[in-house]
Structure 1
């Protein structure tokens, strides 16, 4: 994805731009010559905070140029602009689907604007079940055959939350 380095970052990144930044495999800052090395390093650090796996590079007058080796702190992002986070929830014992569905529904209702996806495999009396949520929707579980991978682990992906807050009933 190409981005004009001279635009930098505004107070809030539009959702479509943010989605593109998060999905990109390579982020190229164009017009890099227009920024000071420190400002360019800050923009690059902010892009890395938004998408930690994408390669970030710079270009000037249609040619690649080096990014500064300056240590720079990413700009503070708020709300949906915050970088994606992932955490694991380990269920101590096999869970039955109906109570887990109620728990996930409550968590999504309270945190749905922050949680993009919850996915994992649980061991239930009915066997192994694939559990998936997207935004505020809990998908029906899918039966899985026995196989590799851990049971009773859920991965939570979102932004603007702390692991300890997701399942805290006092919030």
Structure 2
């Protein structure tokens, strides 16, 4: 997707999108199909417990940055990691690294990351932003655009917009969303993909984009870590999470984590009130990408939550 450059700088592809847009699912399919071959994949997660890298076993080289969003708190670590990749690509790995692909946190503004790289006196001579790809959740983006300034900023920063989950969305709503994206960023290429596989966009004839109200600054979205512990608590955990999502689904944007169950290690993921089917992970950590998963830990990303209150609620329910 990114071509070699005559000026010797490594091409950087930034993959962005709001929480739960499906960035890791999309990227896993691209890697499986042989795209981004020779790229060093850099995965950023705002939470201290990384999970998304577990889906990217097809990456030849992978670095995980956890515990801070790459456009703000995690920016120094991101710039340091990019410098290290550039150093390796001009040293022993000279000619082996075709480019860098950065999968951002769902809380990141790709425009701020690109600006930070352009303003770094070292990286501006060694990296060039080749493309900003932003994935847009076909199921949830409409309401997000009405309430989330970050969702709009991500779309406005894109060179290419990819609508995800199109087969699960209402075709009229999806078409109106596509029209809204064209209005927000007329210059960006627009396509759709289901599980990373390209599919046609729905017809837009006679439809209108969504009306978007002006937005101010809202309450920040933050990650919360919850230690859920033992294997024999799986039934209680699934019941507790279902109740939590039902009660706080508008505040909890994302849930993800790895837990040990009688069926093996399960990767749990949800977006708002939509729970994805759990994925069984192999017990052999060597076949997974990046650091091994931290079992028995759930990361909740949302607003207005109290970590101590969540822990007390789980302890009462799980005992």
* TM-score normalised over the length of structure 2: 0.30
C-alpha offsets along residues 2-55 of structure 1, whole Å, 9 cap, x if unaligned? 9xxxxxxxxxx942534234x48x8xxxxxxxxxxxxxxxxxxxxxxxxxxxxx
Q: Partner residue of 2:226?
A: 89
The answer to whether structure 1 residue 150 and structure 2 residue 294 are counterparts is: yes
Give me the CA root mean square deviation: 3.0
In terms of fraction of residues, the more strand-rich structure is 1
Matches within 5 A, 1:71-110: 81-110=218-247
Are the counterparts in 2 of residues 95 and 122 from structure 1 also a CA contact under 8 Å? no
Partner of 2:231: helix, strand, or coil? Answer: coil
> What displacement does 1:133 show?
1.2
Answering whether residue 159 of structure 2 is matched by residue 15 of structure 1, we say: no
Gaps of 5+ in 2: 1-110, 113-144, 158-215, 286-291
Counterpart contact for 1:116–1:134, Cα < 8 Å: yes
Q: Deviations over 1:132-171 (max 9, x none)?
A: 111012222110012222111111101122223446559x
Provide the rounded CA distance (Å) in 2 between the counterparts of 1:100 and 1:142.
16
How far apart, CA to CA, are the structure 2 residues paired with 1:96 and 1:125? Answer: 10
TM-score by length of 1: 0.52
* CA distance in structure 1 between the aligned counterparts of 2:230 and 2:238, rounded to whole angstroms: 16
How many residues are paired up?
Answer: 107
Regions of 4+ moved over 6 Å: none
SS in 2 for 1:109: helix
Correspondence 1:129-148 to 2 at 5 A: 129-146=266-283, 147=285, 148=292
